[in-house]
Structure 1
């Protein structure tokens, strides 16, 4: 199950399960109150029966002064436990106090609590089962729609590669007849389409190998050469050592390509991109527009303007996770963004 499917499933379960749980809790609370009253009322009737023959050792007796505040035939919670007052068939100002021992009452009450606890556990899992079933059923149309979308993307990716490759090959053939600026523009546009194709191809990356030797300096130089033609007004500044890492070259190429392209695309006019290394850390800084919500930047299809598809940074995060590369982003709006890649 994919991450967005898990998130949708848990959200749907919560939205259905929590209200049901609250409703069940209210019902159980009301049931608890009524049941406690029933237990006390039953004990009160047993007390009344006890006053007729005084048989058994369930209750104890006491004679107390009648102060007109003690109501007859009513349960009170007293220090000894439960007690009730009954009229003595005499003319004196005294009442008969019948006492139900506190320990006995606590035993009955705890037995009732244990029963209601077992019932609550059953209700809890029953509601959870219903909620999970409802969530799975309600997500079926979404999963079907996403499956169709993924199939469409796979077909689109397959069909996109052919014309992009054809344009690049034909532009190289045209160069033999003459070197024109228009041909270079066509090549750059075709390479941009090819880069988009590679991003789409890695929307759902599988497990990839990490055993290739990669020179970061060589990789960065190749990217700068291309991006300098696409963004001639951007100033690239390098402060790099020739760091070599062991990873997957195609995947690292995709990560750096997306980060440098974003640094150029969302930069200011005559802006700057600064690339540096520090041991096994690659740092890419720009003087661009900045990111308003850094926490959402890795979410698929999230974008803060009308340009782009919103998949590049999602792919970057997926590839970083697979390759055990730590990525961190800090940004200030209208000042720029800093991305740090730490290679293990």
Structure 2
């Protein structure tokens, strides 16, 4: 089950189970209160029957002086347990005090609580089972829709690759007959489409092998050369030390391409993109518009403007995890963003 499926599944379980659990708890509490009243009422009637023959060993009998404040045939809580008062035969000066001992009442109450607890556990398990069933059932249409969407995406990725590759090849052939600005623009646009294709390709990719020895400065410089043509008003500053790492070249290119493109795309006019690369660390700083909600930038399809698809940084996070790269983003609105990669 994928991350977004788990989130949807758990949300459905929570939304179904919690209201039912609350409702069941209220019903069980009301049942508990009524049952306690029934138990006490039953004890009171047994006390009354006891005053006729005094043959039960459940109760303790005492004789007390008559008191107007003591209501007859009513259950009281006294220090000995539960007690009630009845008229003594042929006497108006004394009352019979019948006591149901506290330890006996606690045993009856404890047995009842154990039964209701067992019943509550069974009810909660049934509700949880129903909640899981409901969640699986509600997840089914979403899974079917996502399955269709993923297949559609795979077809789009496959069909996108052919025309973008063809445009790049033909633009390079046209350059042999004359290097015109229009041809360069076509080539840059084709590279942009190719970059989008590679991003989409990584969404459906499963495993990434780290078996290539890559020059970090070479990858960064090649990306800057392309971006400088696409964003001619952006000023690029470089403090790059050349070093090699063993990783996946295509994946590392995707990470840097997305981060550098964002640094340019969301920068201000005549803004600066500063790239610092030293041993096992790359820092990309820009003077752009900043990010409002840094904690959500890696969520797929999350975006703070109308530009883009909202998949670039989610792919970056996925690739960083696959390549064991630690990524940290700090940002201030209208001041800029800093991204640090620890390789």
Distance 2:219 2:2 in 1: 32
- Given that 2:301 and 2:310 are in contact with CA atoms closer than 8 Å, whether structure 1 keeps it comes out as yes
State the TM-score, normalized to the length of structure 1: 0.96
- Given that 1:205 and 1:319 are in contact with CA atoms closer than 8 Å, whether structure 2 keeps it comes out as no
Distance 1:96 1:277 in 2: 96
The corresponding residue for 2:69 is 69
The corresponding residue for 2:158 is 158
For 1:111-147, what per-residue CA distance to the aligned partner results, in whole angstroms no more than 9, with x for missing partners?
Answer: 1111111111111110111111111112222211111
Structure 1 residue ranges without an equivalent (≥5): none
Structure 2 residue ranges without an equivalent (≥5): none
* 1:328 CA displacement: 1.7
Cα 1:75–1:214 change in 2 (3 A) is farther
The corresponding residue for 1:231 is 231
* 1:279 CA displacement: 4.1
State the TM-score, normalized to the length of structure 2: 0.96
Q: Indicate whether 1:281 and 2:281 are aligned.
A: yes
Q: Indicate whether 1:340 and 2:328 are aligned.
A: no
Within a 5 Å distance, the mapping from 1:259-338 to structure 2 comes to: 259-277=259-277, 279-338=279-338
Within a 5 Å distance, the mapping from 1:140-151 to structure 2 comes to: 140-151=140-151
The corresponding residue for 1:102 is 102
CA RMSD of aligned residues (A): 1.4
Distance 1:77 1:282 in 2: 76
* 1:205 CA displacement: 2.9
Within a 5 Å distance, the mapping from 1:209-248 to structure 2 comes to: 209-248=209-248
The corresponding residue for 1:133 is 133
* 1:296 CA displacement: 1.4
* 1:235 CA displacement: 1.1
* 1:92 CA displacement: 3.7
Q: Give aligned pairs, total.
A: 343
The corresponding residue for 2:167 is 167
Q: Say which is worse superposed, 147-156 or 55-64, in terms of deviation.
A: 55-64
The corresponding residue for 1:46 is 46
Distance 1:90 1:337 in 2: 97
Distance 1:243 1:117 in 2: 66
Q: Indicate whether 1:5 and 2:12 are aligned.
A: no
